[in-house]
A and B are shown apart, each in its own frame.
Chain A
């Protein structure tokens, strides 16, 4: 299932032109990193994908479904959105019940199985019967991510998923992303944590003040000579691994520690 937007514009009530003619195609089974400063239009774009917001002009197509013709509850079967603040959605008195909320609404066959499987991904199955608010805030955040994954939708989007996570939780989320990609899901990641997210995404969308300044494979972006300028336009600094590889004269820019070590290994032997 791929996502297409055709000349998508969105103007908020106070004539704030949040999206200025976005035309994108996100192919199925890809992990896309959506980057940009606060207010660049990232979450506005996200809310168009599952029909929460309707385009002022232009169109958004989820597979063959035009989001203008359906409401969010219907489109939720195609696109699961996990929002930044877990406290906006937790409405059950046990972890497993919360994770079953999405699948049950979508009328899935066995919501409990889907929920427990998603919880296992984040080692939350031990807390299945605990009240979400008896957990540490970072575990509540893991729960909302698991709840989105439990909906088993072709497209899953995460808004600032790793804010407040410790090392182990970031690792768990990374493994979950790998698992989703193996299952051919389309994953959309909105994050300020550039160094972390670059490891897992295949392509990158850079946004600045409502328009897309770059959309392409991660490798293309990292190998561009003007990488520093493009990122600065979106208020972002160079990823640390890129700065390091440039400083010691490596040509290509790696996006993960393993890649960097591998590059160093190959370069030395040449």
Chain B
């Protein structure tokens, strides 16, 4: 047990050293700032986990978990307090993305998009019980009519919330992953090789 804990500590330390610290903070803040860009361009795009994905690609899963949790906490400090209850979802998103990124999923769009869909399913599965129990499925994300529809069909709150998630989340995460692929594809070599997980972006370099 001792060395497992030790290896956790070293890998966390590796992913949160030097260059990564400010970038993780940026990743968290980016999650909260995408709404402003979407508003400027009047696009119904949500993309509230693109910061977490970029941190996962460049710094690794632990860093992505930190970025996601910090973004969520600050979201509840500055905007809607209940969002802090969704930290488990954010942890799953960060961990999954970090692991998937290591297999170079973000280097091709036809691997990024399906990974996004899987991510969406995972996120829906994890957030459904929380949303069902605490909010009886209401999220104010514009998808609440779906929950009402499934409820009217006689399904339980948990099932209705889960089905709503199955429809909304994979689409949103697929868009987020594809957008991340567009960004990862255009990152500068000189800067990326300074990050702990640079091989996720430039595998062939020394």
Please list the residues of chain A having a beta carbon within 8 angstroms of any beta carbon in chain B.
92-93, 131-134
Please list the residues of chain B having a beta carbon within 8 angstroms of any beta carbon in chain A.
185-191
The residue that B190 contacts in the complex, of A92, A93, A133, with Cβ under 8 A, is A133
- Interfacial chain A residues near B190, Cβ < 8 Å: 131, 133-134
Q: Looking at chain B's contact residues, is the secondary structure mostly helix, strand, loop, or mixed?
A: helix
- Interfacial chain A residues near B191, Cβ < 8 Å: 133-134
- Interfacial chain B residues near A131, Cβ < 8 Å: 186, 188-190
B120 to chain A, nearest CB (A): 28
B179 to chain A, nearest CB (A): 14
A264 to chain B, nearest CB (A): 48
Which residue of chain B is the closest to A132 with respect to CB atoms? B188
Which residue of chain A is the closest to B185 with respect to CB atoms? A93
Q: How far is the CA of A265 from the CA of B4 in the complex (A)?
A: 82
Contact A134 B189 (CB under 8 A): yes
Q: How far is the CA of A198 from the CA of B190 in the complex (A)?
A: 37
- Interfacial chain B residues near A92, Cβ < 8 Å: 186
Q: How far is the CA of A92 from the CA of B182 in the complex (A)?
A: 11
- Interfacial chain B residues near A133, Cβ < 8 Å: 188, 190-191
- Interfacial chain B residues near A134, Cβ < 8 Å: 188-191
- Interfacial chain A residues near B189, Cβ < 8 Å: 131, 134
A136 to chain B, nearest CB (A): 10
Q: How far is the CA of A93 from the CA of B187 in the complex (A)?
A: 7
Q: How far is the CA of A261 from the CA of B71 in the complex (A)?
A: 62
Q: How far is the CA of A133 from the CA of B186 in the complex (A)?
A: 10
Sample (17) of A-B pairs whose CB atoms are under 8 Å apart:
A92-B186, A93-B185, A93-B186, A93-B187, A93-B188, A131-B186, A131-B188, A131-B189, A131-B190, A132-B188, A133-B188, A133-B190, A133-B191, A134-B188, A134-B189, A134-B190, A134-B191
